[in-house]
Each structure stands twice: as C-alpha cells, then as structure tokens.
Chain A
Amino acid sequence: MAIDWLTVVAQLINFLVLVYLLKRFLYQPVITAMDNREQLISTQMTQAQQREQVAEERENEYQTELHSLQKQQNELLSQARQRAEKEAEQFLQQARKKIADNRQQWQQDLKQEQQDFLRSLKQQGSQTIIHIAQQLLKDLANRPLERQIIDVFIQQLASLDDKQKQALATDKTPVHIVTTFEVDDELRSYLKKSLQQFIDSRELLFEQSAELICGIEIRAEGQKISWTIADYIHKLEQTMEDALGS
C-alpha cells in the first residue's frame, strides 16, 4: 500500500504519451473515417433524393405522356371505328344499290327475254298459222273455190264507187290480172266475161304469184284492186299480238 512516487511520475508521463499516441493513431483516424463515411452517406442520400425527385418527375412526365397517348389512342380508335362504320355503311349501300341494279337489270333482261320470247312465239305462231292457212288454202284452192274467189272479187268490183268504176272503164292500157292459182282457159273466159262490164274491152294480161297467198288482184294504170286471204291472216296476226301483249 505504498506509493512509489518515481513510478507515479513515470506512469503520469506514460499515460500522457499514451493519450497522445491513441489520439494520433486511434481516435483521429477513426473519427475522420466515420465523418467521411457520414459525409459520403449524406451525399449519397442527397443524390438519392435528387434522383428520386428526378425519377418522380420522370414518372409524372411519363404518366402524363401515357395518359395523352391513351387519349390519342382512344381518339384514333374511335375515329377508325367511325370511319369503318361509315365505310361499312357505304359498302352496304353500294351492295344494296348493286343488288337493286342487278335485280332491275335482271328484271329488264327477264322482261326483254319475255318480250323476245313472245315476239318470237308470235312470229313463229303467226308464221305457222299462216303457213297452215296457206297450205290449207292451197290444198283447198280447187276450181270451184277459184271460181268462187273470182265471184267474190267481181262482187267487190261491183261495190266500187262510180268514180273508180269510171276510171277503170275509160282507161285503155292493158289490165294485169295476178292470181295465186293457175288460170286455165275456162277461168280466163269466165274472168273476161265477168270483168267485161267493168273494163270494157281492155286487154287482159294474166300473171301467177304466190305472194298473194290465196286471192286475185287486178293492176291497171294507177289502180290496184285485190282480194286475198292475206288480209284475213294480217287481222289474225293482229289479234294474236294483242292477246299475247296483254
């Protein structure tokens, strides 16, 4: 329990030296390192905050841009939809119009075809009828019929008015007698005798033609008087056309 003052002094000096040494090698470097780190972290924090702020600003910008893009997209979609609908409507209208046109064309064609068919039928029918009548009349044109035809023709001449009768009688040029049937001598003399009262003593020239179908015609200067079955056939044709047309 004794104090060695020499040791006390030595320990005092030792302690002060140790204080210096530790301050030099321990406290100062460690505190400096900690302060630097604190500074570094603080700087990093500030930078991080700045970056975060920038990032937030960017995010806001991008959000705004995104919203505007979405809006634009919606507008474009809406426009496209409207255009598509409009075009679809147009196409539909065009299609309807085309269908209507086609239908109209078809109806016209059908009508035309019908008309053509009717016309053709009419022509063929009339021709067939005429042909049959011709054939029939040809077959029936025997002498008594020919004489009968001449009689009917003479009756027609008799029913002419006086002026025509006068014109027929006064002229001196030959008279052409056209028939569809062959006129033999008997018929000639019968014709001469029958026509005597109308043409006086004018010369008679006989001709045969199938165009008249079945009948007789006299052709004098400026005059033509005939009786044929063709007239009746024309009337028949007219009646058929009327019936088919309606």
Chain B
Amino acid sequence: MILTPDDVIFFSLGSLPVNATIVYTWIVMSLLTTGSWLITRNLSSTPDISYLQNLLEVLVTGVRDQIEEITRQRSDQYLAFIGTLFVFIITSNLLAIVPGYYPPTGSLSTTAALAICVFIAVPLFGISNEGLLNYLRHYIRPSLLMLPFNLIGELSRVISLAVRLYGNIMSGTVIVGILLSLMPLFFPIVIQLLGLITGVIQAYIFAVLAIVYIASASSSQHQSNPLSDNETDQDSTTR
C-alpha cells in the first residue's frame, strides 16, 4: 500500500528523482493554468457573460469576500496567495475521484511545503503592512516572557497546518485502499464521496487558517480598519 506518493518515482532528471507528488502537482498546475487561460482569453466586460467566466467570477468573488470578511482589509494583496492555496488544494483533492490519480496533498512533503509558504507569508505580510518593528513587537506581547510561547505557537501552527491536511487526505486515500481490499463493492464509493467532501472542507480550512494567521499578524490594521472605510464609500456610491 502506498502511504505517500513521494515513494513512487516516475523518472529522474539527472540525479534528481521526480516522484508522483511532483508529477501530479504539475498535472494539477497545468490543468488550472490551461483552464484559466482558456476561459480568461475571451472575457466579457458586459453583463452578458459565459458560464465558465461566471464560474471563475464566483470563485474569485467568493475568495475575496472570505478574505475581506476575516481580515477586514482589502483582499488585493492576499488574493493570489490565499486563492491559489484554496484552488490548488481543492483541485488536488477533488481529482482523487480519477482512478490512478494520487492527490499531492496526500504527501506530507506537499503539505509541509504549503505550510512553510504560509509560515513565510505571515511575517512577510505582517512586515509589509506594519513595518518590521511593529511586527516583531507581536512576539513580546503582552510581555517579553511570552516570546518563547509565541515562537512555539508559530511553529506549532505550521506543523498543525501541514499535518492536518496531510492526515485528512492521506487517511481518506488509505481508508479507501483498505476498504477496497476488504469490501470491494459499494462501500468504498461512499467513503470516497466522504473523502471528496473532506477534501473540499480541508481546502477551505487550510485557506481560512492561512488568512487568519496572516490577519492576526497584521492585527494593528484592525484599528485603522481601512476596509470598513472603503466599504462605506463603496456602499454610498452604490446607493
């Protein structure tokens, strides 16, 4: 039984082995990129739009709304990062329905890489929003004594992110694998369905947690609350 697609080596680029995780990631990437390119080639700015453009707009608007709801800030700077996290994870997980496909998110290496991205993104966004000193002050709040706990908290967040996603997706795949050997008919399908739901939920959880971490690192922004001002402006113009 394959516990992680890292173990499946497809081919080697020189001395670098290319395993199933990377190959499936590339497949997911090419699917997303090609699909996006095909749809966004002929975007319409009029109210008369295609179904696929509508789908993309619903996706983008949904992600923006979620980000703005959680951060109470404009979503522009976070959209690409958070949106890509969500889209990549959900696509990886949903493709699990395809026979022979193994989700890259079922590899701890992938989830760790994503968690590391979040781990790096949090201070980057925090510093860009508040400045270095203000950001660093977060770690000694409410007192200097809290510094080690804060550091541990940061690290544990990364680990929990990585392991939660990995565990959920891997377990789904493993359970289906086990059930297939024990009870080959019907029941694995139900479990696979559950796995799809789990995959969607996990993608949502991962993305939302990433926003929450980033927002908490930029907490001083809450006081000025530029989004609410903008929203008020927008509302007044819309009316």
Residues of A participating in the B interface, judged by any CB pair closer than 8 Å: 1-12, 14-19, 21-23, 25-27, 29-34, 36-37, 40-42
Measured between beta carbons, the chain A residues less than 8 angstroms from B44 are 33, 37
| Closest beta carbon of chain B to A205's beta carbon, Å | 147
| Closest beta carbon of chain A to B133's beta carbon, Å | 27
Segment of B21-29, B194-202, B203-211 engaged in the interface with chain A: B21-29
Besides A7-B21, A26-B60, 18 new A-B residue pairs in contact (Cβ under 8 A), listed by A number: A4-B6, A4-B109, A7-B6, A7-B107, A11-B110, A12-B113, A12-B117, A15-B88, A21-B29, A22-B36, A23-B80, A25-B36, A25-B40, A26-B36, A26-B83, A27-B83, A30-B60, A37-B46
Taking CB atoms and an 8 Å cut-off, the chain B residues in 94-131 that contact chain A are 104, 107-110, 112-114, 116-117
Between A4, A5, A40, the greatest number of chain B beta carbons within 10 A of the residue's beta carbon is seen for A4
B interface, by DSSP: helix, strand, loop or mixed? helix
Nearest B-chain residue to A35, judged by Cβ? B45
A-B Cβ contacts below 8 A, count: 123
Nearest B-chain residue to A20, judged by Cβ? B80
Known A2-B4, A2-B6, A30-B43: A18·B116 in contact at CB below 8 Å: no
| Closest beta carbon of chain B to A36's beta carbon, Å | 4
Nearest B-chain residue to A29, judged by Cβ? B40
Measured between beta carbons, the chain B residues less than 8 angstroms from A10 are 22, 113
Measured between beta carbons, the chain B residues less than 8 angstroms from A42 are 237
B32 within 8 Å of A (CB atoms)? yes
B46 engages A18 (CB within 8 Å): no
Measured between beta carbons, the chain B residues less than 8 angstroms from A1 are 3-4, 108
Instruction: Mark contacts of B10-45 with chain A using CB atoms, 8 A cut-off: 1 yes-contact digit, 0 otherwise.
Output: 000000110101100110010011001100100111
